[in-house]
Amino acid sequence: MAPFFIASNFLQYLQIEKRYSPHTVDSYGIDIYQFQCFLTERACQSFDTVNQRIIRNWIVELNEKKCSPRSINRKLTAIRTFFKWLHSKGVIEKNPAKSLRGLKTGRQLPTFARESEMEHSQWEHVFPAGFEGLRDKLMVELFYQTGIRRAELIHLCTNDVNKDFIRVVGKRNKERLVPLSPSLFTLLETYMNVKKSNGHVNERLLVLNNGKELYPKFVNRKIKMYLTLTTTMDKKTPHVLRHTFATHLLNRGAGLETIKILLGHSNLSATQVYTHNTFAKLNSIYAYAHPRGTKNT
C-alpha cells in the first residue's frame, strides 16, 4: 500500500536532495494535497490504486472549475514528479502519470516597463526620507539593474556585496555573479552605513524598519505601490522589473546568452521569450538599415 502520509517524505526529498526552493516545495505540497482530497472524495485510500483515468478525471474537474491551463499543467508537473518518485522508491509498481501530456496553452508574454518609465526623473520624489526610503529605493534598483528574483533579493546577505558585483544564490542553490554599476554600489554603501547606524545587525542585506528579515508580501506590496506611482502597467510585481531588466538589455544589443547568464536561467529557451518584445526595436532598425526600408524611401 502507498498511504497518503508518504507525501511528506516526498516533500523532504525535494527540499533536501533536489534543493528546490521553499516556494516550489510549498506549491508541490498544495498540489498533492488537492489531489489527495480528490482521491478521498472518490474513496481512493492509497496512491497505488491510482491509474491514468483517475488523474485525467482530476484534470477535467480542474478545468470545469475554471482553473487555467497553465495552472493545471503546473499541478500536473507536481503529480508527475511525485509518482515518478514513488515508482523509483518501489512504492508503486507502475507510474500512472508517466505518459500524461499537459494542456495546450497560449504563449504568455512578459510585461515590462518602458525605458522612459524607469528614468531617474520618474523616481526622484517617490521614496520617503530616511532608512525606509533608502531601503525601498535599493529594492527597486536591485530588481531593475540586476534582474534578481524576489526570493533571491530577500535572501541576499551583506557579505554577498562586492564593489563590482553581487553574489546571487538562485534556484536549486545555483550561484551567479551579477555586475553592479558604480551608482548602484554607491547606493548600496549608503544604505549599509545607515542600516548599521540604526543598529540593524541582521546578516540579510535588506531588512524591515525593525531590523527583521523581509517577507514576500511586504516586497510585493512595496513594488506595487511604487510602480503604481511611476508606470501605467496593469501588472505591478517584482517579476515585472526582472522582465524589464531583460527586455531593456536586449533592446540595447545584449546577446541572449549573456542575458541567460545574468538571469540565472538553466536553458536558453526560457530567455528567448523576451525576443518578441523587441520586435518594435527590430522593425525600427530594419526601417533605417535596409535599402528599401520605410525610412529610406
Comma-separated ranges of CATH 1.10.443.10 domains in the chain: 115-285
Angle between helices 69-88 and 52-64 (to 10 degrees): 160
Q: Per-residue confidence at 91, pLDDT binned at 50, 70, 90? A: confident
- In whole angstroms, how large is the CA radius of gyration of the chain? 23
Q: What pLDDT score was predicted for residue 242?
A: 94
Residues with active-site annotation: 149, 171, 239, 242, 265, 274
Comma-separated ranges of CATH 1.10.150.130 domains in the chain: 4-88
Q: Per-residue confidence at 79, pLDDT binned at 50, 70, 90? A: very high
Q: What pLDDT score was predicted for residue 20?
A: 86
Give, in degrees to the nearest 5, the angle at Cα 146 between 141 and 148.
95
Average pLDDT of the segment spanning 210-230: 95
With a pLDDT cut of 90, the percent of the chain lying above it is 61
pLDDT tens, position by position, 108-162: 678 889 999 999 888 989 999 999 999 999 999 999 999 999 999 999 999 999 9
Q: Would you call 169 helix, strand, or coil by DSSP?
A: strand
Per-residue pLDDT for 221 more than 80?
Answer: yes
> Average per-residue pLDDT in the chain?
88
Our measurement of the distance from residue 228's CA atom to the centroid of its chain's CA atoms, rounded to an integer in Å, reads: 20
pLDDT tens, position by position, 152-198: 999 999 999 999 999 999 887 889 999 999 999 999 999 999 999 99
Q: Per-residue confidence at 1, pLDDT binned at 50, 70, 90? A: very low
pTM of the model: 0.70
Residue 226, C-alpha cell as written in the block: 511604487
CATH class of this structure's domain 4-88: mainly alpha
With a pLDDT cut of 70, the percent of the chain lying above it is 91
> Tell me, which fold does domain 115-285 have in CATH?
hpI Integrase; Chain A (1.10.443)
